[in-house]
Structure 1
Amino acid sequence: MRDSSLSPSSRLGGAVISDRIVGALLEELRTGRYAQTDRLPAEVDLAAELSVSRTVIRDALSEMERAGYIERVRGIGTVVNRSVLNLRSRLDQKLEYYPLIRSFGSYPHADGIQIYPVRAGEELARDLVIEPGDDVICIKKRILADTTPVIYSIDYLPRALFGSRDYTRIDLSGDIFDVLERECRQQVASNVAHLKASCGDESIRAAMRLAPGEAMLLLDEICYNRLCHPVMRSLSYYTNFFDFSILRKLL
């Protein structure tokens, strides 16, 4: 796995080397050589097995500990938290619609896609740190698991992110994080989400085929790039198809 032309901070296909190591270790913990273990080998042994430096291993383990997959305990070693490892839909982590739906054994796809410009009102302008009246691109879509509607999403992107390009000639129908990175050179580093129960308006209820009185979970998010500037306001309505969890680390 070593590539001598890349430093530990270099990017491989958009991912830092330590991120790749995290992915490899999680796969080994779930289905590979460490699937039956309650502890990981020492850093020096992991570095040798994965052909990377101890610095890369240390960075990867730090990330895994922050995510709650492991705890590094002095005098004991790196302990695996299998309860956290087996969680598949965590609200405290980045949620990508398609991988999330696939984790439930269903086929994800989108329909009812609408893309059109709007003028930012006071609230949207404040959220995106733009001027009221500035152009914003609104993207609406319904996400299905097989034939069942499970998510209705509304994303607002400042028109300025696309520069002078004609956004109508750009494919904005795919994963919104990919769109931001590919078309706007904006990588979402964090978001602030507010969770609430919502019945949605009549058009959303009809699209989601909700029963009378049935509510959805609304994630109202503002997404920030690595310079801590907001690049998107996102409203995602989830049906009870999902069973979400949140990890709260206390130490």
Structure 2
Amino acid sequence: MKRVIVESLKDKVEKELKSYIERTEDNKLPTEEQLATQLGVSRQTIREALANLTQKGYIAKRKGKGNYILKSVLKTKMRVDLSQDFATIIDSLGLEPSQKRTFIQERSGNEELAKRLDLDPNEPLLDFRWDYYADGQLAIQGYVSIPKKLFAKIPEDDMVYGKENVQIDSLYTNHCSQDVSHNIIKVSATINSVTSQAFGLDPRTILMFWDETFYNYLDQPIGVCDIFFNPNILQMSMVSTHEQIFR
């Protein structure tokens, strides 16, 4: 049974305002009082919704002058500062997302991984591959390594269609006795001939690469993931506001 998500009034108002700023030809929003009257809600609800839209970069607030609409941000796709749910990002491009998780192997003896996970090199790891597809074409490939001791049993391979939110850290939620507190991502570029060929690219193609480490609430590393992106489908972006850069 799927979890039922109840949308709050603030979220509904935020959606209404985002829809409005996408449609309008103006570069400035009406006043808070005017918006509250138009939508039939309190000014406090309007303020909360506007604060969220400002945080996401869609509008810029200038004291004494009002809220300005940033069309350049509205046009920006694949924003990893808003979401790292790859199925949602693929769906936002108008492409049909699907994803497949495959168990690869059990292994030990990798000193680099053992160091990253604060393990003895002889402790076994389970390796998985997580493939994301866009209209049936491989868009993202992730290689996940998690200590075997965290699993009660090896999960079966899985395939998910549509934009259902099934992220890589669901391995912990569904199959381990761990909850992910946070991830640390290091972004770089690399050549990986195997993945490039899986993408249908020249083996020498330079790929954007995420080196990701998962942590639990005790701040202990509980897994790593190497993620590669198909440059013919995905070109990730990020929006930074003036306040974020110069604060």
Q: What is the TM-score with the length of structure 2 in the denominator?
A: 0.71
C-alpha displacement of 1:218: 0.9
C-alpha displacement of 1:140: 0.5
Equivalent in 93, 111, 114 of residue 104 of structure 1: 93
Name 2:207's counterpart in structure 1: 216
- Rounded Cα–Cα distance in structure 1 between residues aligned with 2:189 and 2:119: 28
The residue identity in structure 2 corresponding to 1:65 is T
Kindly, what percent of the aligned residue pairs are identical? 22
Name 1:5's counterpart in structure 2: none
Residue 225 to residue 211, structure 1, CA distance change in 2 (3 Å): same
Alignment of 1:186-225 (within 5 A): 188=180, 190-201=182-193, 203-225=194-216
Residue 199 to residue 169, structure 1, CA distance change in 2 (3 Å): closer
Equivalent in 49, 57, 68 of residue 68 of structure 1: 57
Alignment of 1:30-69 (within 5 A): 30-32=18-20, 35-36=23-24, 38-39=28-29, 41-42=31-32, 46=36, 49=39, 54=44, 61-69=50-58
Equivalent in 164, 167, 180 of residue 172 of structure 2: 180
Q: Is the 8 A contact 2:98 2:136 kept in 1?
A: no
Residue 61 to residue 190, structure 1, CA distance change in 2 (3 Å): farther
C-alpha displacement of 1:160: 4.2
Q: What is the TM-score with the length of structure 1 in the denominator?
A: 0.70
Alignment of 1:90-239 (within 5 A): 90-111=79-100, 113-119=102-108, 121-162=110-151, 165-168=152-155, 174-184=166-176, 188=180, 190-201=182-193, 203-225=194-216, 228-239=219-230
Unmatched tracts of structure 2, length 5 or more: 161-165
- Rounded Cα–Cα distance in structure 1 between residues aligned with 2:176 and 2:38: 39
Q: Give the secondary-structure state (helix, strand or coil) at the position aligned to 1:113.
A: strand
Q: How many residues align?
A: 233
- Rounded Cα–Cα distance in structure 2 between residues aligned with 1:16 and 1:190: 25
- The answer as to 2:74 corresponding to 1:85 is yes
Equivalent in 19, 22, 27 of residue 15 of structure 2: 27
RMSD over aligned CA atoms reads 3.9
- Rounded Cα–Cα distance in structure 2 between residues aligned with 1:147 and 1:172: 12
User: Per-residue CA shift, 1:132-177, capped at 9, x if unaligned?
Assistant: 3333332103322223222111122333444xx2233585975323
